[in-house]
């Protein structure tokens, strides 16, 4: 009886190829999963539409949205958020600054923003508002609602107007974190000089 040495020597080679194919497929699956996880849960790139956030952000500025932060913490006052409202006339992302938090009462009068009857000071440089819209009367936010304004106060469609209204938590995509060009953290843009009066 003759022994087929050639057949026996092919077995380890075939096993090695199968292991390499399995490792290669697992690596591709891991990369696809990681890419999906990052895009769906962590970060996303978009461009600013319109001029409502000038002088903080300008039209077409490329920005990075941090989608993860609000999965582990609540949005805070003065955060710049990205949101999308279903059933509204716009299909694009909106970018505005949070002014009022859930449960608070908002009123704008005499050029001031009142939160629960206390004047809040803007942390960014903005023009005095001409049109107070719905906020010329008290607006009390529900437990999941936020009141937002554009930094370009006299050229912004925001919570002062029925076309936008209050933003609900589930409409928030994430926090506008980075401006890509020119590069900067959005939280550092257009801030008032704390030493200025």
Q: What is the DSSP string of 164-188?
A: T-PEEGGGEEEEEEEEETTEEEGGG
Active site residue 76: no
Active site residue 58: no
Instruction: List the one residue out of 49, 74, 73 whose CA is nearest residue 150.
Output: 49
**CATH homologous superfamily of domain 48-188?**
Umud Fragment, subunit A (2.10.109.10)
CB contact at 8 A, 41 and 157: no
Q: What's residue 9's pLDDT?
A: 58
Residue in the structure block whose two tokens are 């843009």: 189
Rounded to the nearest 10°, the torsion over CA 43, 46, 48, 53 is: -10
For the chain, give the mean pLDDT. 90
Instruction: Compute the half-sphere exposure of residue 92: CA atoms within 13 Å on the CB side of its CA.
Output: 9
pLDDT over 70 (residue 5): no
pLDDT over 70 (residue 10): no
Does 176 or 14 have the greater pLDDT score? 176
Instruction: List the one residue out of 46, 51, 49, 85 whose CA is nearest residue 66.
Output: 46
The answer, yes or no, to whether the previous bond of 182 is cis (omega within 30 of 0) is yes
Integer Cα distance of 171 and 165 in angstroms: 12
Verdict on whether the full-model pTM lies above 0.85: no
CA 125 from chain center: how many Å?
21
Choosing from 67, 96, 156, 175, the catalytic residue is 96
Choosing from 52, 67, 159, 175, the catalytic residue is 52
Q: What's residue 153's pLDDT?
A: 96
Which of the four pLDDT bands, split at 50, 70 and 90, describes residue 197? Answer: very low
Q: What do you get for the CA distance between the two ends of the chain, in Å?
A: 102
pLDDT digits (tens, 9 = 90+) for 123-176: 999 999 999 999 999 999 999 999 999 999 999 999 999 999 999 999 999 999
């Amino acid at each position: 009886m003759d022994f087929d040495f050639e057949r026996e020597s092919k077995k380890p080679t075939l096993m090695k190829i199968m292991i390499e194919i399995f490792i290669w497929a697992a690596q591709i699956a891991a990369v696809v999963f990681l890419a999906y996880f990052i895009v769906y849960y962590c970060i996303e790139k978009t461009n600013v539409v319109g001029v409502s956030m000038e002088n903080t952000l300008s039209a077409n500025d490329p920005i990075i949205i941090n989608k993860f932060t609000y999965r582990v913490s609540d949005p805070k006052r003065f955060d710049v958020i990205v949101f999308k409202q279903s059933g509204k006339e716009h299909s694009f992302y909106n970018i505005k600054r949070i002014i009022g938090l859930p449960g608070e009462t908002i009123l704008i009068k005499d050029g001031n923003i009142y939160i629960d009857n206390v004047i809040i000071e803007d942390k960014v440089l903005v023009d005095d508002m001409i049109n107070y819209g719905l906020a010329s009367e008290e607006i009390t936010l529900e437990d999941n609602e936020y009141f937002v304004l554009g930094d370009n106060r006299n050229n912004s469609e925001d919570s002062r107007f029925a076309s936008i209204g209050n933003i609900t938590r589930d409409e928030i995509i994430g926090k506008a974190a980075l401006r890509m060009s020119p590069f900067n953290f959005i939280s550092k843009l257009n801030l008032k000089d704390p030493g200025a009066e």
